[in-house]
Structure 1
Amino acid sequence: MPRDDFSKATKDALAKRVGLRCSNPACRAPTSGPHSDASKSINLGVAAHITAAASGGPRFDSSTSSEDRASIENAIWLCQNCAKLIDTDAQAYSSSTLYRWKVAAEGEALRGIGAPQYSEFFPQPPSALHTPLPRIGGHDYDQAREMLIHAGWQPYMNHWSRGGDWDIAFGNGEYFWNKGYHEIQSACTTGLAQCAFVFKDVYGNKLVVITAGEAVEEIGATPGVWVWRIEQPSPEIENG
């Protein structure tokens, strides 16, 4: 079966729609820059297929047409490392995840046009005693988790046996637990279907992230970050 590859025009448009940056929210690396030859530039970006270009490839969808597989809607701009990553572990990087990356990256590029350099982190004074905090508001939890880990926050993982506890097993709890997000501390079954997750940094600070919204895998709906807070270690613990 022949590959349904992207045209050069599609690749060029795709790259420019995200400002020539990797669409992985945990990476966002620039993919283009100057060559040693002043008349040339370097490109380390890849137009990757969301659903595979041919049968047997990562995330192949037999229900799509050849035209759809070669369209810009099925393309995501990534650096070479992230392009390799998503195809090496296709189960971890589903089509719905890549679509979310694509939409978020294009939205960020649109907001940045003609604006001062946008920081991916909240302002932090030199005296701050916690790991920098990425701007996770508005992202779904999958994206926010990757951003936090990339910044240096580590998931505070529960023991595997806690998966059946009443405060984790209900609501969206089972959904997150089965994805391997064992940093979940509680899941609410009513209201906004909130879930609480905990991260820690090298200073001993605790970051609590609260998500809201139902997880509906059939339509690709995932809970998003609602609020968060940093809890600093108490003096008693530090002096103990």
Structure 2
Amino acid sequence: MKKSAQSIVPMRNILGLALLSFAVTACGIPDSKRPDSGRIDIDPSPSAKQCYGELRKAGVRFSPLPNKNFAGGCSQIDAITMIDVGRYTDISNLGPIRCQLANKFAAWTEFAVRRAARQYLGSELVRIETMGSYSCRRVAGSNRLSEHGRANAIDISGFVLADGRRITLTKDWNGNRRERQFLRAIHKSACRRFGTVLSPDFNAAHRDHFHFDMGGNGYCR
């Protein structure tokens, strides 16, 4: 017995909607393909406004971003785009980042990384290389949303000095003495500033970068 066209079309629609629902809720979808579930048109929070002032005072160039929620529970709230970290220090490959994290990162750069570069390596810092900040994804091996999914984490892979040297976590975490001292010193300082700090000593997935976020309670490894 043949089914009528009227009974077939709704079934196709149901299947299509089910597939679409599955696609937009999976955090593995690249952000460029993820539907925006709605911009939140509100003024920056008082803490964000204070943070903007602190960044300007520190000489950091940045642009505030509109608050947004995305599918999968991801969001960019009180986020900014950092243009540099102050004092003509470039930063590469960095996406949206929450202002409070950016403020901690700028202070760490100024009072830890710059000083350690002079002390251990005898040169000025000119660029920090990152592996990004915002990324809508889960913590590996779990269903818990990563702090990257809230623009509340940053991964740092290397540092470029005025004399042309490039210090990387991959090459120098267990490299020559001076480079090791530099990286251990800035890691120790980061542990006093961020909620979670992970280094190549944590696991193989972090062999090439530092992970900093503001979601933890002082976990340092």
Q: TM-score, normalised by structure 2?
A: 0.33
Task: Choose between structure 1 and 2: higher strand proportion.
Answer: 2
Choose 1 or 2 for highest CA Rg.
2
Q: TM-score, normalised by structure 1?
A: 0.31
Task: Choose between structure 1 and 2: higher helix proportion.
Answer: 2
